[in-house]
A and B are shown apart, each in its own frame.
Chain A
Amino acid sequence: MTGLIVLDHLVKRFGDLVAVDDVSLTVEKGEVLGFLGPNGAGKSTTMKMASGFLEPDSGSIQICGCDVATEARAAKQHLGYMPEGAPAYGEMTARGFLSFVADVRGLSGAARNTALDGAIERTGLQPVVHQTIDTLSKGFKRRVGLAQAILHDPDVLILDEPTDGLDPNQKYQVRKLIDDMAKEKAIVVSTHILEEVDAVCSRAVIIDRGKIVADSTAEQLKLKLPNHNAVAIRLSNGDLAKTKKALDGLDAVDKVETVSEGDTVSQLRAIPLNGKSIAGDVAQCLTTNAVHPEELYVEHGSLDDVFRQITTSDTGGADA
């Protein structure tokens, strides 16, 4: 099966700046792809090209098998797109705006009403449908943008920063909505909020300076971190030397470092070889040596660290 979204060697230049540099990507049905990158890395430009708003300088885009350049109308029928900031006509009511989008999309009669009611219900817009969009809170405005994108039940959804600027409750609702739709659609969500990828995405693509620098699951990305699955141990100073020596002797442990040394308690970190899980080995080793740690936990590393490690657009150099 070919993917619902196929980006093929996309290149986009703005003057001398190569905003998107040879990006190829395929998204299958059922996938929620988190599109990550620092500001200015080319996320929005790529999404604008995928939605058919911008034309690439070279390369091609297919949505559900329709070429965005040559079969624009068919491709756009299959696509729901929420631009960055969810722009909408502020003087219209929420329902009026959605009706307008339904009309332009050629929905009519019962199908139109079903689509409108469905989109309003799924995005929880019922309390504000008759309010003008200008008077809505940021969260509701964003949901109007989402409702507009899912109105015609498209096979492909492209959402540019759908949760940017929302409060935790609103974020949760938007993520739940994406999660609910994930099975029968191909969804691309751009974000620079990394917890989002953990929360909703089945796949994470990181773009930096116009190039894709990582493409895998959130879990696999974390494996790239040296500290992934490291075990941190807090213990009294008396046990320090003994424990360090014992842990060093374990096969699965790459090295042991002293994180902090206090007056009475210190902290050690056992770093595994190849990110393997070593919690069991460490626990057993401590028991064998009769060490009673005050604290013992597994470090996972956060996606933030991965992000910092592999993207350098903003800092101008690797600092992780």
Chain B
Amino acid sequence: MRSILAIAKRELRAYFGTPIAYVFLAIFVALTGVFAFFIGGFFDRGEADLRPFFEYHPWLYLLLVPAIAMRLWSEERRSGTIELLMTLPVSISEVVIAKFLAGWAFLGIALVLTFPMWISVNILGDPDNGIIVTSYLGSFLMAGAFLAIGSAVSALTRNQVIAFVVSASVCFLFVMSGTDIVLNVFRGWLPEFLLSAISSMSFLTHFEGVSRGVIDLRDIVFYVSLICFWLFVNAVVINLKKAE
């Protein structure tokens, strides 16, 4: 447990050791605002809630979370420190969890920094703050799922650009899996139950309720099991390919 904390702490510090962290935070906060005000029509709706703000989170995560995840393992491979890390008295799963927690904490910081949105909506009107808190938690959970995918992909390569492109593509499939774009590819040659299985993997569908402040246990189970699955994949990949 203590080693998990030590590794997570180092990893989180490493984000802030480079300009990437500040660039990321600035862009994330700016883009959430742009989407909410200009595309989501925050003012035009005339309602005191943050739905237009949360609705665009899956699309932001699609591009920004792979950028956070890409260096988690690729950098470790490139610099050879993976050999150092794996010969310290820690298990692979501990390192996988520690790295995930660090990235997740970073995304949490990014979310917390969007607090001016919350303040604005409270000044302008009288929103249901319970819904907003729920939506924040749901968004955080979804960010974790994106991150777990990105981390597992990052474990496959020492090249950060490849890690970014591949994990963004995989995340895109998960976001779009409920839509016809993805389903039409499978329609006709996959049985119906597999089609509905694929469409039930959609981040969008599972986030829809959350962005309205409705917490469904199924959505939580979906994201948590997705995180666990991809972290498991991550550990398997590292175990098989740690020396390459």
Pairwise interchain contact B84-A91, C-beta atoms closer than 8 A: no
Judged by a CB distance under 8 angstroms, whether A48 is at the interface is yes
A72 to B215, CA, bound (A): 42
Given the contacts A88-B81, A89-B10, A106-B2, A79 and B18 also touching, CB distance less than 8 Å: no
Pairwise interchain contact A76-B88, C-beta atoms closer than 8 A: yes
Pairwise interchain contact A104-B86, C-beta atoms closer than 8 A: no
Pairwise interchain contact A77-B6, C-beta atoms closer than 8 A: no
A131 CB to nearest B CB, Å: 14
Interface size range of chain B in the complex = 20 to 34
A220 CB to nearest B CB, Å: 32
| A residues near B86, Cβ cutoff 8 Å | 52-53
| A residues near B79, Cβ cutoff 8 Å | 87, 89-90
B1-44 contact mask (Cβ, 8 Å, vs A): 1 or 0: 01101110110011001100000000000000000000000000
Question: Which single member of B3, B87, B242 contacts A79 (CB below 8 Å)?
Answer: B87
Identify which of residues 46-92 in chain B touch chain A, using a CB-to-CB cut-off of 8 Å.
79-81, 83-84, 86-91
A95 to B3, CA, bound (A): 18
| A residues near B9, Cβ cutoff 8 Å | 103
Total count of chain A residues near the partner, CB < 8 A: 28
B106 CB to nearest A CB, Å: 15
| B residues near A311, Cβ cutoff 8 Å | none
A73 to B3, CA, bound (A): 12
Pairwise interchain contact A88-B17, C-beta atoms closer than 8 A: no
| B residues near A90, Cβ cutoff 8 Å | 79
Pairwise interchain contact B87-A104, C-beta atoms closer than 8 A: no
Pairwise interchain contact A53-B242, C-beta atoms closer than 8 A: yes
Judged by a CB distance under 8 angstroms, whether B185 is at the interface is no
Pairwise interchain contact B243-A54, C-beta atoms closer than 8 A: yes
Question: Which single member of B10, B14, B17, B83 contacts A48 (CB below 8 Å)?
Answer: B83
B96 CB to nearest A CB, Å: 14
Identify which of residues 156-199 in chain B touch chain A, using a CB-to-CB cut-off of 8 Å.
none
Pairwise interchain contact A104-B80, C-beta atoms closer than 8 A: no
A23-44 contact mask (Cβ, 8 Å, vs B): 1 or 0: 0000000000000000000000
Residue of A at shortest CB range from B98? A104
Pairwise interchain contact A89-B14, C-beta atoms closer than 8 A: yes
A161 CB to nearest B CB, Å: 13
Judged by a CB distance under 8 angstroms, whether A85 is at the interface is yes
| A residues near B5, Cβ cutoff 8 Å | 103
Pairwise interchain contact A83-B6, C-beta atoms closer than 8 A: no
| B residues near A51, Cβ cutoff 8 Å | 87
Residue of A at shortest CB range from B80? A87
A53 to B89, CA, bound (A): 11
| A residues near B83, Cβ cutoff 8 Å | 48, 53, 83, 87
Pairwise interchain contact B243-A76, C-beta atoms closer than 8 A: no
Given the contacts A83-B84, A88-B81, A104 and B90 also touching, CB distance less than 8 Å: yes
| A residues near B242, Cβ cutoff 8 Å | 53
Judged by a CB distance under 8 angstroms, whether A242 is at the interface is no
A59-98 contact mask (Cβ, 8 Å, vs B): 1 or 0: 0000000000000110011010101110111111000000
Given the contacts A77-B89, A104-B3, A106-B2, A85 and B84 also touching, CB distance less than 8 Å: no
Judged by a CB distance under 8 angstroms, whether A130 is at the interface is no
Given the contacts A48-B243, A92-B17, A104-B3, A73 and B84 also touching, CB distance less than 8 Å: no
Pairwise interchain contact B88-A101, C-beta atoms closer than 8 A: yes
A96-110 contact mask (Cβ, 8 Å, vs B): 1 or 0: 000011011110100
Pairwise interchain contact A91-B87, C-beta atoms closer than 8 A: no
A11 to B92, CA, bound (A): 23
| B residues near A267, Cβ cutoff 8 Å | none
Pairwise interchain contact B91-A87, C-beta atoms closer than 8 A: no
Given the contacts A103-B3, A104-B3, A106-B3, A76 and B80 also touching, CB distance less than 8 Å: no
Judged by a CB distance under 8 angstroms, whether A227 is at the interface is no
Pairwise interchain contact B18-A76, C-beta atoms closer than 8 A: no
B182 CB to nearest A CB, Å: 37
Pairwise interchain contact B7-A104, C-beta atoms closer than 8 A: yes
Pairwise interchain contact B2-A100, C-beta atoms closer than 8 A: no
| A residues near B88, Cβ cutoff 8 Å | 76, 101, 104-105
- The 9 listed contacts between A and B (C-beta, < 8 Å) are A53-B83, A53-B87, A73-B89, A77-B89, A79-B87, A85-B80, A91-B14, A91-B18, A108-B2
Known: A91-B14, A104-B7. 13 other contacts (CB 8 A): A48-B83, A53-B83, A53-B86, A81-B84, A87-B81, A88-B84, A89-B79, A89-B81, A90-B79, A103-B9, A104-B6, A104-B90, A106-B89
